[in-house]
């Protein structure tokens, strides 16, 4: 009767006889995963799982009889079931094979687990041509996608109203205004190309643009000469610079907002300064308001 195997030796056997060989085989399979190599660790993992299940269901006595003529292996199946070396080895192979096999399969289109985490493995696959097929396929897909997008763009570009609808936006003055406020240059251009313009009802639009801090649509408005009227600009100037009313200091005024106001309302600059100067003549802080006027004058 064989003596019990010490725990330290069981651990060494499990690593040397199960974990390391399984890891090596799994790594090889993962390297070749673009060509179906993921099947290798997955198959080994499944086989080990089946044998492990059989040994637990049939009893380890059957495993001992199977290895009667190989004393060293027969000793793997002695003792309580879950302390047997054979069970540990099979479990190690099963877990390693299944984990790597499934992971390699999920990453097979990009080279496998190792390729996605180690640049040297990806380079080696490139050298051996394992990823060439995937690279070519992805390139063909990308070109086909670009061709479809170009076709759709050409089909819709002559009809701004249809294009706006395709973007899920309403063809309305409010839709136009919202596109400008969120800085959407493309939608703004489509609305303008379709005949939209700024009307007196948009007198608070400049204020909303400046408050949003999103100025992406301003170049489009300038390019197409669709600009706010004098009243809208004066309202915006009073709103931005009469943060003074709350005791704000000029150095806290956002210069990007001032620049946006200048771009939108450049031709009304003098009337804004005149209005602001008059407005500052009231009960507002004398040391702050003139400085705010000066900021606008120098913008």
The pLDDT tens digits for 253-280 are 677 777 888 888 878 878 777 777 766 6
Using the predicted structure, report yes or no on whether residue 2 has a pLDDT greater than 50: no
Q: How far is CA 248 from the centre of its chain?
A: 39
**Tokens 């450049």 belong to which residue?**
266
Instruction: Name the band, by pLDDT with cuts 50, 70 and 90, for residue 151.
Output: low
DSSP 8-class letter at 267: G
pLDDT at position 241: 64
181-186 contacts at long range (C-beta below 8 A, 24 or more positions apart): 181/205, 181/208, 181/209, 181/212, 181/214, 182/212, 182/214, 182/217, 183/212, 183/214, 183/215, 183/216, 183/217, 184/216, 184/217, 185/216, 185/217, 185/219, 185/220
Whether pTM exceeds 0.75: no
Highest mean pLDDT among 48-57, 97-106, 148-157, 247-256: 97-106
CA distance 190 to 198: 14
Choice among 140-144, 172-176, 192-196 with the minimum mean pLDDT = 140-144
Per-residue pLDDT tens for 50-96?
888 877 776 656 666 666 566 666 667 677 767 777 788 888 898 98
Using the predicted structure, report yes or no on whether residue 152 has a pLDDT greater than 60: no
pLDDT at position 244: 45
pLDDT at position 1: 43
Average pLDDT of the chain is: 75
Using the predicted structure, report yes or no on whether residue 288 has a pLDDT greater than 60: no
Where b means 16+ CB within 10 Å and e means fewer, 142-163 reads eeeeeeeeeeeeeebeeebeeb
Structure-token pair, residue 220:
């489009």
Over residues 108-125, mean pLDDT: 76
Using the predicted structure, report yes or no on whether residue 221 has a pLDDT greater than 50: yes
pLDDT at position 58: 67
CA distance 236 to 264: 10
């Amino acid at each position: 009767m064989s003596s019990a195997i010490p725990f330290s030796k069981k651990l060494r056997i499990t690593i040397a006889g199960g974990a390391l060989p399984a890891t090596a085989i799994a790594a090889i399979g993962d390297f070749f995963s673009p060509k179906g190599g993921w099947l290798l660790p997955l198959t080994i993992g499944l086989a080990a799982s089946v044998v492990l299940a059989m040994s637990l269901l049939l009893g380890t006595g059957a495993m001992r009889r199977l290895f009667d003529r190989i004393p060293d292996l027969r000793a793997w199946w002695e003792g309580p079931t879950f302390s047997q070396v054979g069970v540990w080895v099979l479990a190690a192979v099963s877990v390693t094979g299944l984990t790597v096999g499934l992971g390699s399969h999920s990453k097979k289109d990009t080279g496998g687990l190792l390729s996605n985490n180690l640049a040297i493995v990806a380079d080696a696959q490139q050298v051996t041509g394992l990823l060439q097929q995937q690279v070519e396929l992805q390139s063909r897909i990308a070109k086909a996608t670009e061709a479809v997008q170009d076709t759709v763009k050409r089909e819709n570009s002559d009809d701004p109203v249809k294009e706006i609808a395709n973007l899920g936006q309403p063809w309305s003055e409010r839709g136009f205004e919202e596109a400008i406020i969120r800085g959407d240059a493309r939608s703004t251009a489509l609305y303008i190309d379709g005949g939209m313009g700024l009307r007196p009802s948009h007198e608070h639009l400049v204020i909303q643009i400046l408050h949003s801090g999103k100025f992406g649509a301003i170049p489009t408005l300038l390019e197409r000469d669709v600009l706010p009227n004098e009243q809208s600009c004066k309202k915006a100037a009073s709103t931005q610079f009469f943060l003074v009313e709350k005791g704000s200091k000029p150095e806290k005024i956002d210069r990007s907002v001032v620049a946006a106001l200048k771009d939108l309302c450049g031709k009304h600059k003098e009337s804004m300064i005149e209005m602001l100067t008059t407005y500052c003549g009231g009960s507002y802080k004398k040391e702050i308001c003139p400085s705010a006027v000066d900021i606008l004058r120098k913008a």
